[in-house]
Amino acid sequence: MRPTRRNLIATGALLPFAARAQAAWPTRQIRLVVPFAPGGTTDLVARVLGKHLQDRLGQTVVLDNRPGAGAALGSQIVAEAAPDGYTLVVSNAASHGVAPALSRHVRYDPVEDFTHIALIATTSLVAVVNPRWEVHNIADLLRVARATPGGVDFAAAGVGTSGHLFSLRFAARTGITLNHIPYRGSGPALTDLMAGNPKLMFDSLASSIGHIRSGALRAIATMGATRSSFLPDVPSIAEQGFPDITSSSWFGISGPRGLPQDVVEIANREIRAALQHPELRQRYTDLTAEIPDTTPAQYTEFVRKEHATVVEVVRANRIAISE
């Protein structure tokens, strides 16, 4: 007699299929580690995504702020977590680019010890100058720097920041001399820049755009391959002759090494869908964040290249590695 569906269920023949359906990720709360304190760009990007992601997944996404060690503390927690998809991290330029290259305390490999799921946002760097200075573009900057004995002073938000590292790449690429004046954050650096000393800074667009729009600072280039949609009248560094040294700040979602493939596929699909929500896109626009669309393989390769670039800059410039 041919077995019926009822007979199969009674005999347990369908139990493996039922178990797989019940075990589909996620079935409980997800912990999203943010390796920075609340209130910064990384935290805001994570909170907006977390809200829309939990609406799609039907499970709570709880943010866990774990600042420290240049964003390495929170990332280490996730690197050591169980690879089940319930502990993820907002991987970023600091945690997976700079920190592993600058600190011997970082015990994880930013590529091999994580499963990278999706790139969720990028924010451009921008070269800004005091508007009373004679520099209006990259060509002007090169001309002035070459004519200035001792080179040009530039401000940065701190040693190892994206702006500092980009300036080193730019100086090496163009052969000019740039003298680093480190500050504790963008705020005090921008204050001095607007006062006229120093006259140049490579900064995040998010912290500079208000001053650019008010006329307190002049943007001479954005650091992307194409113009930023937030400053469409400002030529990119690539347009101005240097397509090989583009740079940006970036944020993504990663988990521990060894996440199951089905979890990675579901997470990537749902993250990419959440990034299309009009409310999320508007909130990211408010943060001057561009929204990419990547597969796990594309994001993994992106992290690999970003970290390799930082390592190259650190070695070439003999930047002190912290003990």
User: Among residues of the chain, what percentage have pLDDT more than 90?
Assistant: 74
Does 124-245 match 26-122+248-317 at the fold level?
yes
CA distance 209 to 123: 11
Instruction: Of 15-19, 180-184, 196-200, 224-228, give the lowest mean pLDDT range.
Output: 15-19
CA distance 81 to 247: 31
What confidence score (pLDDT) does residue 248 get? 87
- Identify the CATH assignment for 124-245 out of 3.40.190.10, 3.40.50.720, 3.30.460.10, 3.90.850.10: 3.40.190.10
Which whole number is the average pLDDT over 145-167? 90
CA distance 256 to 43: 20
Report pLDDT digits (tens) over 42-98.
999 999 999 999 999 999 999 999 999 889 999 999 999 999 999 999 999 999 999
Could you tell me which residues come within 8 angstroms of residue 210 by beta carbon, excluding any fewer than 6 positions away?
none
The CATH code of domain 26-122+248-317 reads 3.40.190.150
φ/ψ (deg, to 5) at 34: -110, 115
| CB-CB contact of 237 with 228 (8 Å) | no
pTM flag (> 0.95): no
User: Among residues of the chain, what percentage have pLDDT more than 70?
Assistant: 92
| CB-CB contact of 97 with 110 (8 Å) | yes
- Whose structure tokens read 């720097």? 145
Could you tell me which residues come within 8 angstroms of residue 8 by beta carbon, excluding any fewer than 6 positions away?
14
What confidence score (pLDDT) does residue 14 get? 43
If you average pLDDT over every residue of the chain, what do you get? 90
User: Domain spans of the chain?
Assistant: 26-122+248-317, 124-245
Report pLDDT digits (tens) over 99-111.
999 888 899 999 9
By residue count, the chain amounts to 323
What confidence score (pLDDT) does residue 320 get? 65
Q: For residues 157 and 9, which has the higher predicted lDDT (pLDDT)?
A: 157
What confidence score (pLDDT) does residue 6 get? 40
Which whole number is the average pLDDT over 12-19? 40
